[in-house]
Structure 1
Amino acid sequence: MSKLNFFLFGVYPYIALAICLIGAWARFDLAQYTWKTGSSQMLSNKGMRLASNLFHVGILFVLAGHFVGLLTPHAVYHHVISTENKQLLAMVSGGFFGLLCLIGLLMLIHRRLTNARVRASSSTSDILLLFVLLAQLLLGLGTIFASTAHMDGSVMVMLGHWAQQIVTLQPQAAAESIAPVGFIYKAHVALGVTLFVLFPFTRLVHVVSAPVWYLGRRYQIVRQKG
């Protein structure tokens, strides 16, 4: 196992988590008024609801699938579903919700880049974040195609071991578990960890404070009487 592999998948996740927690705490404490999504709906509402809902529904199900799939020990789920069928389920559901998320994200990127008013109100980090999320989504969808070459679920098991060993503070074992997997999986994991680094410094922070009814909200601008 190389030193780079150990750093990226055994050490970097803890560095990223520390930056995420400390940075988020500092931002909330020192710049609380920046803790928001920075919605641009008042500038242009055309297609906003459809794009936003596609993106958020997709990303929520994808994140839930990753959380359950990676952190559920083999000894727990194998009584209910085989490793092969678990991988197939992950590929089908991940592909479906990943595509929903991708369509919504592409619509949001197009709107932010082509609508003059929205573009003028966007920060550099807003635009870069969208493209980082796009790269992560494309990598994730790419892993589905890569998984067709090994339908036995062996790579999924290795990725699960990596995540579980990171959570249980076993960096050496985690790095060894993920070492044999292909580049596209490692790139997807590394970029996913990097999102934790970006979290405190972008509009991603609104994820932890967005209400559950966000997806069904009406896009309405309320003005106070003068």
Structure 2
Amino acid sequence: MSDYPPEPWNLAGDAWLSVWRVPVSEIPALPEGARPLVWRGRATVVTAWIDYRPPGQLSYHELLATVAVHGRRAATSITGIWVDSETSLAGGRALWGIPKDLAAFEFAGGHAFTASAATGDDWIATAAFTPRLGLPFSIPAAFEVVQTLDGRLKRSPVASKAGARLASSDWQINPAGPLGHLAGHRPVASAKLAGFTLRFGG
């Protein structure tokens, strides 16, 4: 099925995030007009494994990598993203210019979390997370996602709320794969966003 809901999408689930500091010369190409935020020659990359589920509008798994960029407020540009839903793929590309591709996922929960993603060509990455300290309340966040849609820069608003817990993480990344720019680097921080709600688009 490739029919998709109109924007905005209201989604919910759990996410496991890692923050990386990568030499700006190593990050993938960004949309024309998007400029990375750079400090001491490094850009900030955020990766996330996401399990979308009810009561959100769609249920699917996702792996993404995004780069912090300049914007009117907090902003990011997605450089790699994979889902196991043709509906999500079609909607993400058509509505916001998000370059989604299909992949096969394995997610395993419990106190710790493990995940893997692979395409028909090769594996992309695997990761294991163990939650640590948590906050007793939910944290709101608002930012924009900057992509190219129909030859123009598209800025899409995102608003979310989630309970946050710091986590430790162990990543294995295929150096010859689409996240190869992260191979050889280690996250500077990781976290679990539990029971998030998210509104994507205007």
TM-score, structure 2 as length reference:
0.24
Which has the larger strand fraction? 2
- The alignment's TM-score, normalised by the length of structure 1, stands at 0.22
Instruction: Select the structure that is richer in helix.
Output: 1
